[in-house]
Structure formats: C-alpha cells, structure tokens
C-alpha cells in the first residue's frame, strides 16, 4: 500500500469517527462544510483522496485539527512530531509552501504552521469561523498581511495577531523570501450553523 493509499484509508476512518462523535448525518455535515454529500460518501468509503481545500472545510465543520482527520495520534500527553510527519499543505511552482508542524486534537484546535513565501507569491484565504484567531511571527523578509481588504506590512522580527473570521491573505511584495511561523486557534464546535475555512490558513 502506498503512502497515498494509507492516507486515504486513514482519512476515511477518521471522518467516519468524527462525524459519529459529533452526531452529524451526512446531510448535516454537507450543509456545515459546503462539501457535497456525494463527496463525503466517497471519502468515507476511501474511494477518493480529497483536495486540501476539501479536507480543511471538513476539519472546520467538525471543529477538529487537520491532522486529527489524518489519523495522527492525539492520545499521548506529549506528542513529538518528527519532521518527516509534518504535513505540507500548500505549494507553488515558485517554491512557496506552508507546512502544518503540530497541532492539538481537542475541541477548539490550535495549529502551528511554518510558511515560506517567495517574492511575488502569496496565498489567500476565505473567512474562518467566528472566533478564529491567527498569530504570525516573521523571521525573514517582509510580509504583506491583508485582512478584510486592508494591507499591513510586517517586517522581519515583528509579529502580528488578527481575528481571522474575515477574508485574509499573505503576500510577499518584496525581493527576499518571507519566512514566518503562524499559530491558528479555531473555536470549539457550534451546532447552530456552517463553519468553513478556505485552503489557506
């Protein structure tokens, strides 16, 4: 079995587990996530390997971390994630990428990300669920952070925090690569409406 096959099987098991844990029908999860009922069925039957965007939408709708859906171990009091198990979530031909380093699997998950954005490159995200927060520390380069249409310059050594329940984007308008670390805090599950997070963070 290939790594992709194992990932597909793990995702199928985890999605069924978390949907049962939350008490969601297929129709309810489809409504909350914006992912079609047919696609959810295919994922739960391990007949497809969904896109990053689809996986993120399902994780948000279930209020679990992305790695919880990838069946990583969340039972240990201390969990060490080797570099080889960090999850590369976004890449571009220019060499930009984001990597999910580690997260918590509890309700109201917290994720730690590493980003590299090459000059002229960027990533945009739809609004996360209400109550979502992001913290960013720029280690190198100069990040242009756009939150709800307003651009903010974050130079190397500086940090920023913002409410991520509005559209936002990360751009490199400079001439050097941007290297940054990001923490994403998501709210606990709410049973009164849909929750979505786009492919970016």
CA distances (Å), origin 187, targets 22, 57, 92, 111, 196: 15, 14, 29, 12, 12
In a domain, 200, yes or no: no
Same domain, 64 and 126: no
- Tens of pLDDT, residue by residue over 68-97, are 777 655 555 666 777 887 778 788 999 999
- pLDDT exceeds 70 at position 192: no
- Higher local confidence (pLDDT), 121 or 82: 121
- pLDDT exceeds 50 at position 102: yes
- Would you mind telling me the total number of residues written for the chain in this entry? 201
Same domain, 87 and 180: yes
- Predicted confidence at residue 122, as pLDDT, reads 96
Asked whether the beta carbons of 135 and 122 are under 8 A apart, the reply is no
Q: Domain containing 150: what range?
A: 83-185
In a domain, 175, yes or no: yes
**b vs e for 87-114, b when ≥16 Cβ sit within 10 Å of the residue's Cβ?**
bebbeeeeebbbbbbbbbbeeebebbbb
Full-model pTM: 0.66
Same domain, 61 and 91: no
Q: Which residues pair with 143 in a beta bridge?
A: 154
Segment holding 67, helix H or strand E: helix 66-69
For residue 26, name the pLDDT band (cuts at 50, 70, 90): very high
Burial class (CB in 10 A: 0-12, 13-18, 19+), 2: exposed
The sign of the CA dihedral 77, 83, 89, 90 is positive
- Tens of pLDDT, residue by residue over 129-144, are 888 899 999 999 999 9
- Predicted confidence at residue 4, as pLDDT, reads 66
In a domain, 194, yes or no: no
What is the C-alpha separation between 1 and 10, in angstroms, rounded? 12
- Predicted confidence at residue 194, as pLDDT, reads 42
Same domain, 102 and 175: yes
Compute the average pLDDT of residues 116-125.
Answer: 95
Same domain, 89 and 61: no
Same domain, 167 and 135: yes
CATH number for the domain harbouring residue 168: 2.60.120.10
Residue partners of 91: CB distance under 8 A and separation at least 6: 97
Strands 178-185 and 150-155: unpaired
- Predicted confidence at residue 149, as pLDDT, reads 94
- Higher local confidence (pLDDT), 149 or 103: 149
Give percent of the chain above pLDDT 70: 86
- Predicted confidence at residue 162, as pLDDT, reads 97
**Number of domains forming the structure of the chain:** 2
CATH number for the domain harbouring residue 49: 1.10.260.40
Same domain, 177 and 118: yes
For residue 99, name the pLDDT band (cuts at 50, 70, 90): confident
Cβ neighbour number for residue 77 with a 10 Å cutoff: 4
User: Both tokens of residue 168?
Assistant: 């936002």
């Amino acid at each position: 079995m290939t790594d992709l096959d194992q990932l597909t099987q793990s995702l199928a098991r985890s999605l069924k587990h978390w949907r049962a844990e939350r008490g969601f029908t297929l129709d309810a999860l489809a409504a909350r996530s914006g992912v079609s009922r047919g696609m959810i069925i295919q994922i739960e039957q391990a007949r497809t390997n969904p896109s990053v965007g689809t996986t993120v939408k399902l994780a948000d709708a279930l209020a679990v971390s992305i790695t919880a859906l990838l069946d990583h171990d969340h039972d240990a009091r201390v969990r060490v994630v080797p570099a080889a198990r960090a999850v590369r979530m976004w890449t571009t031909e220019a060499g930009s990428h984001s990597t999910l380093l580690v997260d918590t699997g509890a309700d109201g998950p917290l994720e730690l990300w590493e980003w590299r954005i090459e000059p002229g490159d960027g990533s945009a995200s739809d609004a996360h669920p209400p109550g979502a927060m992001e913290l960013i520390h720029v280690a190198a380069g100069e990040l242009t952070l756009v939150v709800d249409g307003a651009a903010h310059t974050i130079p190397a050594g500086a940090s920023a925090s913002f409410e991520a329940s509005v559209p936002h984007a990360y751009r490199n308008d400079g001439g050097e690569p941007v290297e940054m670390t990001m923490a994403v805090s998501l709210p606990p599950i709410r049973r009164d409406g849909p929750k979505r997070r786009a492919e970016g963070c």
